[in-house]
Chain A
Amino acid sequence: MNENEKGMDAELMDFDMDGLCRAIAESSPMPMVALEIGTHKVKYANPAFCALLGKGRNELVGHTFPGAAQGQDACLALLDRVSKTGKVEIHTGLEDSPAHPFYWSYAVWPIFAADGAIGGVMIQAIETSPFHRQVTAMNRELILSATVQHPLMDDADAFNRKLQAEVAERQRVYAALEESEERFRLLYNALPVGAFVCDREGLIQNYNLRAVELWGREPKLGIDRFSGALALFLMDGTKLANTDNPMNKVLRTGAPERNIEMLKERPDGSRLPVIVSYVALKNSDGAVSGVIITFDDISDRLRAEKEARDIGQKYNLLAESMSQKIFTTKANGELDYVNRQWFNYSGKVYEDFEGWGWKQLIHPEDIGFTMREWLLSIETGAPFEVVHRFRRWDGQFRWHLTRAQALRNGSGKISMWLGSNTDIQDQKELEAELRWANDDLRQFAFAASHDLLEPLRTLSNYSQLLVRGIPGPLSSEAETCINFITESAARMRTLLTDLLAYTEAGADRGAEAELIDLNRVFQSVKGDLALVISENEAVVTSGVLPTICGHEARLVQLFQNLIGNAIKYRGERAPVIHIEAARQGRDWLFTVTDNGLGIDAQHFEKIFGVFTRLHGKAIPGTGIGLAICQRIVERYGGKIWVESQVGQRTIFYFTLPIEEESIDG
């Protein structure tokens, strides 16, 4: 130790070493605890240690150290060994505390009383996950330095025992001081936070390794200031005014300034977000002699906070901009959020919904089953789904579909419920209308097939009776008139029958679809049309047709109408009609080609309409055939269309879905 260093030591002694140590211990993020020898009673515990155990300082100080109290042999042995040997011991095993699943190492130091006797031990815990190696190495140095005996002054004046004693005493103090400082320096550098010690002028006197790392360079002792040449900024980016500098406040008042967030500009111009605490160093007379500054990088935390905020904002924006009504509840079912759509719908404010307030909006008849289902879901965690009515701002109750899903935390416990309410009033009304319309149609079809035909039959029969001269002969004019009546009645009957067939073609009478071999259907239709085919000397052929899933009667009707039409609308030539089927994606594409009259392109779409006819009475028909074909094809999810050249040929195309098994096969 040279003279200069001795001078500094002396100054440090004046400097209130105890105060400094205490300030460091108090602001250290590392848990530290001092115990009395033998009793293992806690003499001192720093805030980090209290936080680690989750206890107040007064719950710890004066009480037996928890590790010792629990009779942990290893712990007791360690404490006793240090008390006896006065040597620092490092417990390097990895400790996994259940409350804090981190790895820690413990350093146990002797505390020397003024008379040089060991008065107690200090335990310091260090989180070793990231620093384990570094700390272990440093602790080894500490062991070495602590065990080095300061050389005694062998050349002391044997005659001046008193002086010798004084020198010895002084030497012992130096030795203790040296040890103390070494310990302090080790602790200082092992701190996971940056630390500076500044003098009354704010000039940096001391710094640790982490401080260099965070700052970006080594500070010049006695020249640099923490808040000086390298500027500090508030979190919003504005420069920290000198008068607002916490350093000045602490120097002035002596009261600590803790956990202040600001931006520290680094030598490369980047700004590091840091959290800073200032604690005053005081002389033995209580005067502020300097400030110890600890600071840490909080960019990770800020980033995480920002991400959480961004996600929160996104979800909020999403929930508020959705047209659907959204709500969340606590795990116990108490509502704690509804989006804006609910306020618009109900004309109420959040407080009206909160907790169980929303019940007032439910139709009185629906409250019973709604609550029953909701409480059941809360109890079991099963998804909630109910159709019920909510009162709108104007008093109208509208049907809603409400669904809610439990959200669970990592351990599977329900943390909240998230739900939506969809207004299905319009849908319900449409469904009802559709049901009525279908009922009407069915009634109409029944009327058409029975009630309407009844008078027509009588009309027809009696007209014929008159023609036959009952009760007397009729003039030929009257006969003509009556013939018109008869013909009209017959036509009316045909129209009604066809219309009935058309409605039947699209109706689902509950008959199951089956696998139908269209080759068989084709042969059967050819058989039915045998007379017409031979009369017209028509040639009707087909390629290999597939088997599809459908209803035989409908498919027969489809083929019969298309082949029948091809013959009916024949040209001068004998009809030649051919049916083919080919795969096209997931469908069969059918073509029915003929060499008949052909259809003008302007009628390509019109011909599929109900009762649409392009020909006069020369060719009989009601114009329902292709409408029925379209209805059948669409019933199976297919399409039908036509291409034609007048006088040349007509090709009807239609698609039917490929039967799944035949795809695989």
Chain B
Amino acid sequence: MDSSSGGQPYRILLLEDSAADTYLFRQALKNTGLKHDLTVIDDGEKGLDFAKRQGDYAAIAVPDLAVLDLNLPKAGGAAVLAAMRQHPELVGVPVIILSSSDAPSDKERTQELGAARYITKPMNLADYLRIGDQVKELLLESRAALERGA
């Protein structure tokens, strides 16, 4: 794969409490053929620990991309996103919001916090699996931007 030059897999972080959705997301990533390393956090509080680089999740490597679900117990994806934007190590990480909510208010709120994309979880399996394409696209875009910046 051209994008995984140097053999370094893309580090992707997924904040998702539904095992079913996590499974589908893995399938979607697999379909892209992209070399990746997926870390899953299934709880909002743990997500906040990660975003603030504290507790058990302080050691998690800074990801190339974060995919956040909005509706989680304790703390939602929006709170995690907001915390990430406060932390110097995580402030530049591109974020995709993946939510079952199609409320405009949710879209606006997360866009203001700097989410790159907002994807409503599709009813249709084929559409779900195509989420992988969007992930790949964004990863390649940000990699290109980084290289230009370097």
Contacts and interface: CB of A to CB of B under 8 A. Distances in A.
Interface of A: 450, 453-454, 456-458, 460-462, 464-465, 468, 489-490, 493
B123 A490 contact: yes
Nearest to A467: B125
B54 interface: no
A460 B71 CA distance: 20
The 8 closest A-B pairs by CB, nearest first: A464-B125, A458-B20, A461-B125, A460-B123, A454-B100, A457-B123, A461-B128, A465-B125
A453 B100 contact: yes
A458 B18 contact: yes
B105 to A, nearest CB: 12
Interface of B: 18, 20-21, 24, 27, 71, 100-101, 121-126, 128
Nearest to A453: B100
A450 B101 contact: yes
A457 B125 contact: no
Indicate the member of A450, A456, A461 with the most B CB atoms within 10 Å: A461
A361 to B, nearest CB: 51
Given A457-B123, A464-B125, A490-B123, A450 B21 contact: no
A464 B124 CA distance: 8
Given A458-B18, A464-B124, A493-B123, 12 more contacts: A450-B71, A458-B20, A460-B125, A461-B24, A461-B123, A461-B124, A461-B125, A462-B20, A464-B126, A465-B24, A489-B123, A490-B123
B100 A450 contact: yes
A150 to B, nearest CB: 120
Contacts of B27: 465
A466 to B, nearest CB: 10
A523 B121 CA distance: 33
A450 B120 CA distance: 12
Nearest to B21: A458
Contacts of A489: 123
Contacts of A468: 125
A564 B127 CA distance: 28
B133 to A, nearest CB: 17
Contacts, number: 35
B27 to A, nearest CB: 8
Contacts of B124: 460-461, 464
6 contacts: A458-B18, A458-B20, A460-B124, A461-B24, A461-B128, A465-B125
Contacts of A493: 123
Indicate the member of A458, A462, A490, A493 with the most B CB atoms within 10 Å: A458
Where chain A touches its partner, the secondary structure class is helix
Contacts of A453: 100
A458 B17 CA distance: 13
Contacts of A490: 123
Contacts of A458: 18, 20-21
Contacts of A465: 24, 27, 125
B37 to A, nearest CB: 23
A464 B24 CA distance: 11
B83 to A, nearest CB: 23
Contacts of B121: 457
Indicate the member of B101, B122, B125, B126 with the most A CB atoms within 10 Å: B125
A76 B100 CA distance: 110
A468 to B, nearest CB: 7
B122 to A, nearest CB: 8
Contacts of B101: 450
Nearest to A460: B123
A460 B126 CA distance: 11
Contacts of A464: 124-126
Contacts of A450: 71, 100-101
B100 A461 contact: no
A493 B124 CA distance: 12
B86 to A, nearest CB: 28
Nearest to A470: B27
A454 to B, nearest CB: 5
A566 B24 CA distance: 41
A461 B129 CA distance: 10
A461 to B, nearest CB: 5
A553 to B, nearest CB: 12
B20 A461 contact: yes
Contacts of A456: 123
Nearest to B100: A454
A381 B27 CA distance: 79
Nearest to B127: A461
Nearest to A457: B123
Nearest to B126: A464
A421 B61 CA distance: 72
Indicate the member of B27, B123, B126, B128 with the most A CB atoms within 10 Å: B123
B2 to A, nearest CB: 28
A460 to B, nearest CB: 5
Contacts of B122: 457, 461
Indicate the member of B18, B20, B24, B101 with the most A CB atoms within 10 Å: B20
A99 B126 CA distance: 104
A450 B72 CA distance: 12
Contacts of A461: 20, 24, 122-125, 128
A489 B20 CA distance: 16
B9 to A, nearest CB: 24
A593 B101 CA distance: 38
A460 B18 CA distance: 15
Contacts of B128: 461
Nearest to A464: B125
Nearest to B125: A464
B119 to A, nearest CB: 13
B23 to A, nearest CB: 9
A454 B20 CA distance: 11
B21 to A, nearest CB: 7
A464 B121 CA distance: 15
A493 B123 CA distance: 9
A464 B122 CA distance: 12
B16 to A, nearest CB: 12
Indicate the member of A457, A464, A465, A493 with the most B CB atoms within 10 Å: A457
A478 B69 CA distance: 32
A483 B138 CA distance: 34
B69 to A, nearest CB: 11
A458 B25 CA distance: 12
A648 to B, nearest CB: 40
A458 B123 CA distance: 8
A606 B44 CA distance: 48
Nearest to B20: A458
A503 to B, nearest CB: 15
Contacts of A462: 20
A490 B124 CA distance: 9
A454 B126 CA distance: 17
A453 B101 CA distance: 10
A120 B100 CA distance: 117
A220 B91 CA distance: 128
